[in-house]
């Protein structure tokens, strides 16, 4: 393989047991948050425009090694993946926010209503909507990497979602919350995009050019391979150290709020995967498409919930539950996508050969 080729990593022993490491990091994070509250409060207050800087640093460590593998000169290839992009955009913006609003109405407003604090029900639904209205920006690079996804498609799809988010997030949230106007933390959104996409891409491409000039790109990529997942695990320790108090105090509420979130992840991932298969899209594009279609930009959702409803609101708690379930559930989706590759490719190949009507 040449130095300019994009690597296709396989799932090693560490990745196969990632669900176990995630569970351990959640427990460790909550325990450390209780044992060292002052340390975690200081880390939690290290923010700019409500973007937590320690989390931003860890996100950098997650995605820069992956971005090093990408040759931006090959981004023109994405025109070959227009069907995958159309499927992802459709699920992210035409289905996911509205399906979450429906699930919130069914489960939180009706089925679970007797088990929840009545004065917080509207806030819980608002938090769920905020969670679903913003597609994930950073973590999808991890999920795409774990399913050997086409990296140029992933980068382009995330960049496109970010552009759409700037103009569509507020109107969709306002529509679904039934508000005449809504204050969105635009500084949080813009700074998050800069921190999680623009700056890492620039840094990675400058570093890549230097490594290519020295002929050490492949060796550097091998050395950095464990860094992304290690940063993910440290991020979980930090997040659950910061939010552990609420999780311990309200376990039943947490479990009930998790139900619609989990259902919408599987529903939207399955829908995107199925649409891609029906369109005859390659598996290496359909995998990240399904994962991007299902995952959430929880950093923005948490910041927006706090800005709109306050730290102690039901909306803020609902977005924290999204953080709690995001990684384990998305890892299960990664497992399903990998295990179903043979089924997917047989069906996609058959449908792609079908003559047009």
Task: Sort 29 into a burial class: Cβ within 10 Å, 0-12 / 13-18 / 19+.
Answer: buried
Predicted local distance difference test score (pLDDT) of residue 95: 94
For residue 15, what pLDDT band results from cuts at 50, 70 and 90?
low
Do 153 and 141 contact (CB within 8 A), yes or no? no
Predicted local distance difference test score (pLDDT) of residue 8: 44
Q: What are phi and psi of 221, to 5 degrees?
A: -60, -40
Per-residue HEC secondary structure of 139-162 comes to HHHHHHHHCCCCHHHHHHHHHHHH
pLDDT digits over 137-166, tens only?
Answer: 767 888 888 898 988 888 888 878 877 887
* Gap between the Cα atoms of 26 and 70, Å rounded: 31
Which residues pair with residue 48 across a beta bridge?
51
Find the range with the poorest average confidence among 180-184, 188-192, 317-321.
Answer: 180-184
Q: What does the mean pLDDT of the chain come to?
A: 82
Mean pLDDT, to the nearest integer, of 125-133? 91
Mean pLDDT, to the nearest integer, of 324-334? 87
For residue 207, what pLDDT band results from cuts at 50, 70 and 90?
very high
Q: Which domains does the chain have, with CATH numbers?
A: 13-352 (1.20.1530.20)
pTM: 0.76
Find the range with the poorest average confidence among 179-183, 194-198, 223-227.
Answer: 179-183
């Amino acid at each position: 393989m040449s130095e300019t080729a994009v690597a296709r990593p396989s799932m090693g022993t560490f990745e196969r047991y990632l669900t176990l490491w995630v569970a351990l990091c959640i427990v460790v994070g909550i325990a450390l948050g209780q044992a060292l509250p002052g340390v975690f409060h200081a880390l939690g207050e290290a923010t700019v425009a409500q973007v937590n800087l320690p989390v931003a640093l860890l996100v950098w460590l997650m995605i820069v090694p992956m971005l090093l593998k990408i040759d931006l000169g090959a981004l023109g290839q994405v025109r070959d993946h227009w069907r995958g992009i159309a499927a992802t955009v459709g699920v992210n913006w035409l289905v996911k926010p509205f399906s979450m609003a429906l699930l919130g109405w069914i489960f939180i407003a009706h089925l679970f209503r007797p088990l929840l604090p009545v004065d917080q029900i509207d806030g819980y639904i608002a938090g769920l909507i905020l969670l679903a209205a913003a597609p994930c920006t950073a973590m999808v690079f991890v999920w795409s990497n774990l399913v050997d996804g086409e990296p140029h498609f992933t980068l382009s799809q995330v960049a496109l979602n970010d552009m759409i988010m700037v103009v569509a997030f507020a109107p969709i949230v306002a529509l679904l919350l039934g508000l005449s106007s809504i204050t969105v933390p635009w500084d949080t959104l813009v700074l998050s995009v800069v921190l999680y996409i623009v700056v890492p891409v620039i840094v990675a491409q400058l570093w890549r050019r230097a490594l290519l000039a020295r002929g050490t790109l492949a060796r550097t990529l091998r050395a950095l391979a464990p860094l992304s997942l290690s940063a993910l695990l440290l991020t979980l320790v930090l997040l659950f150290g910061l939010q552990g108090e609420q999780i311990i105090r309200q376990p039943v509420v947490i479990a009930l709020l998790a139900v619609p979130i989990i259902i919408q992840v599987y529903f939207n991932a399955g829908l995107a995967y199925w649409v891609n298969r029906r369109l005859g899209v390659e598996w290496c594009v359909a995998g990240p498409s399904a994962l991007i279609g299902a995952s959430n930009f929880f950093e923005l959702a948490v910041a927006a919930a706090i800005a709109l409803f306050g730290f102690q609101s039901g909306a803020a708690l609902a977005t924290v539950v999204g953080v709690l379930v995001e990684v384990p559930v998305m890892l299960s989706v990664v497992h399903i996508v990998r295990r179903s590759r043979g089924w997917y490719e047989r069906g996609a190949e058959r449908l792609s050969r079908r003559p047009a009507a």
